[in-house]
Amino acid sequence: MSSRRVLPGKSPTSRPGPEGGRRDANRRARTDDLARAALSLFLERGIEAVSIDEIASAAGVAKGSFYTYFHDKADLVQALLEPVASSLRGAFSRCAERLEAANARNDRDALAMSYLALAVDIRDLFEAEPLVARLYLQECRGPANGARAPVASVAELIRGAALRLTEVARAGGLLRDLDTRVTAAAMVGASEHLCMRVLSGEDFGDLSNAMTVLVTLVMEGLGPRASTREVGA
Amino acid sequence: MSSRRVLPGKSPTSRPGPEGGRRDANRRARTDDLARAALSLFLERGIEAVSIDEIASAAGVAKGSFYTYFHDKADLVQALLEPVASSLRGAFSRCAERLEAANARNDRDALAMSYLALAVDIRDLFEAEPLVARLYLQECRGPANGARAPVASVAELIRGAALRLTEVARAGGLLRDLDTRVTAAAMVGASEHLCMRVLSGEDFGDLSNAMTVLVTLVMEGLGPRASTREVGA
DNA sequence: ACATACTTTGACCGCTCAGTCATGGTTTGT
DNA sequence: ACAAACCATGACTGAGCGGTCAAAGTATGT
């Protein structure tokens, strides 16, 4: 699972030049420069606080050149997130297929392994794209306005998938009969926070260790084999 | 635990007028108006995206009046958060005391009850100040720059306390020998996400239900009585 | 009663910003 | 070879913003 390029939000309309040609290569390089510069600045100051001029300057291009490749800041954010969003869609999709097969066979272990495979997929993705993952985690709780709207879209994707997958886990007997929405939210929250801390480079151990704790937490905390000790509220 | 007033960041230097007098009452009302207006706008658009003019306008005062009561936006955010931050400090402090007493008696049940009492304290606080809690949760992951710096300070307070408390839980035998930082992060993450979803009013059940799931998750997922089934990574 | 600090207002000011576009150079397709 | 699209540049434009402050009204302390 190699990282994929950020694509420009805007392309020439009639004569883009041959693939691999001068203009094509130039567009790739410029897009990359802008994306990289923006990502770094966004992580440092937040999406909203960074100006187009600063991004262009940090990328080493003129301000007007920014608009050759992107419509506006939101367009750039969208482009930054798209490779990760696409991979996430793929991961959730593969997990859904594995779950379907496991359910058809009434195979509870295969069910559990589907979720574990998903966790590994997500771990791999975040490790391949740590900075984009961090940006997502940093911004995904903010309101979906302005340049942050693309981030909110990815959050919606993840939320929906977590809910669906949690529902399947419950129906398949992996989780007790607790409120699915609450359970899904707890899992998303815990995993995001762990990833965020790990990816921030705080001498926090690696993502696999964090994932292990998370899976333990879920399987034993919410699974049907839990002890009879129940803490009342 | 009643909610407390937001205090102005700026006060008159020589003749504030008598407590309860015309000017005192006026300052309270204006401060409240500004705080309320700002809070609403911040939740809708994020702290950074809201201008001083918008806050003043929404509060029904002239723009220059904003500066009568607050130095700048960060000052207002600080004032908004202070009552909640103060209560959190109190809650953590009370929990620490209860833990100390339980540890002195080697009383494991009292240890567990200390954490439960903390969860109840935090639930009560968030229910008393839902909008401020939501603002905190929305913004606490962002970089600590500009008007968001006071939010980051509260996040630091919570992170530090969670780590300390998790360490005590581990030493007291409530949690297995997993990495304390990871465990603390998972708990903070899960609880924040749950609170955020509940407080957003998404037909998500109440905070007590969410807290119950969270406590179950922790006590059974990470406690020493966990089943021998271990999911490898 | 009076002097003075407080309060309110909103026009003003200088600065920043997103987006535009004229100009000139480069690449492509015919 | 040539026409035309593409590309880069940065000055320009109008809008928006934070903060200031003169002028006038109000509350307070002596």
Q: What pLDDT score does A187 carry?
A: 79
**Residues across chain B:** 233
Contacts of residue A204 in chain B, CB cutoff 8 Å? 181-182, 185
A124 in any annotated domain? yes
B109 in any annotated domain: yes
Residues B53 and B97 in one domain: no
- Same domain membership, residue A141 and residue A95: yes
d(CA A129, CA A11): 25
Looking at the fold, whether A78 and A130 belong to one and the same domain comes out as yes
| B65-94 residues near strand D (Cβ < 7 Å) | 67, 72-73
Same-domain status, B62 and B120: no
Q: Which residue of B has its CA nearest to A218?
A: B221
Tell whether A36 and A101 lie within a shared domain: no
Contact B194 A178 (CB under 8 A): no
CB B80 within 8 A of CB B135: yes
Q: Which two tokens stand for residue A201?
A: 């480079």
Please judge whether A190 and B194 are an interchain contact, meaning their C-beta atoms are less than 8 angstroms apart.
no
Q: Which of A69, A102, A130 is the last residue of a domain?
A: A69
Tokens standing for B221? 């997922």
Q: Indicate whether A60 and A104 sit together in one domain.
A: no
- Whether chain B has a CB inside 8 Å of the CB on A50: the answer is no
Q: Is A195 domain-assigned?
A: yes
Between CA B69 and CA A99 the distance in angstroms is 58
ipTM of the complex: 0.88
Q: Measuring from the CA of residue A23 to each C1', which nucleotide is nearest?
A: C27
Question: Does pLDDT of A230 surpass 60?
Answer: no
Is B145 in contact with A178 (Cβ distance < 8 A)? no
Chain A closest-CA separation from residue B215 CA (Å): 7
Task: Identify whether residues A118 and A32 lie together within a single domain.
Answer: no
Based on the fold, state whether residues A115 and A179 are members of the same structural domain: yes
For residue B93, being part of any structural domain is answered with yes
pLDDT of residue A28: 95
- Write down the mean pLDDT value for chain A: 86
For residue range A113-162, list pLDDT tens digits in order. Answer: 888 888 889 888 988 999 999 999 999 999 999 999 999 999 999 989 98
B173 Rama sector, left if φ>0, alpha if ψ -120 to 50, beta otherwise: left
Question: Which residues, 6 or more positions from B34, have their beta carbon under 8 angstroms from its beta carbon?
Answer: B55, B56, B59, B61, B66, B69, B70, B76
Alpha-carbon distance of B130 to B128, in angstroms, equals 6
A191 in reach of chain B (CB within 8 A): yes
- Cβ burial of A211 (10 Å; 0-12, 13-18, 19+) is buried
Chain A CB contacts of B142 under 8 Å are 46, 138-139, 142
Report the nucleotide nearest the CA of residue B22, measured to C1': D27
Q: Is B163 on the interface with A (CB under 8 A)?
A: no
Indicate the average pLDDT of chain B.
86
Q: How many domains does chain A have?
A: 2
Residues A100 and A168 in one domain: yes
| CATH number, residue B26 | 1.10.10.60
* Domain presence at residue B121: yes
- A205 belongs to a structural domain: yes
One digit per residue, pLDDT tens: chain B, 233 residues? 345 789 999 999 888 899 889 999 999 999 999 999 999 999 999 999 999 999 999 999 999 999 999 999 999 999 999 999 999 999 999 999 998 898 888 888 888 888 888 888 988 898 899 999 999 999 999 999 999 999 999 999 998 998 898 888 888 777 777 777 777 777 878 888 878 877 777 666 777 777 777 777 776 766 665 444 444 33
Q: Which residues of B touch A217 (CB under 8 A)?
A: 186, 217-218, 221-222
Range of the domain at A116: 73-221
B4 belongs to a structural domain: no
Rg (CA), chain A: 21
Separation of A36 CA and C28 C1' (Å): 29
The CATH number assigned to the domain holding A93 equals 1.10.357
Query: Do residues B97 and B114 both lie within one domain?
Result: yes
- Which nucleotide comes closest to A62 if you measure CA to C1'? D9
What's the confidence (pLDDT) of residue B224? 65
Query: Which of A163-172, A194-203, B29-38 bottoms out in mean pLDDT, i.e. has the lowest?
Result: A194-203
Note whether A57 and A104 are same-domain residues: no
Considering only CB atoms, which chain B residues are within 8 Å of A155?
Answer: none
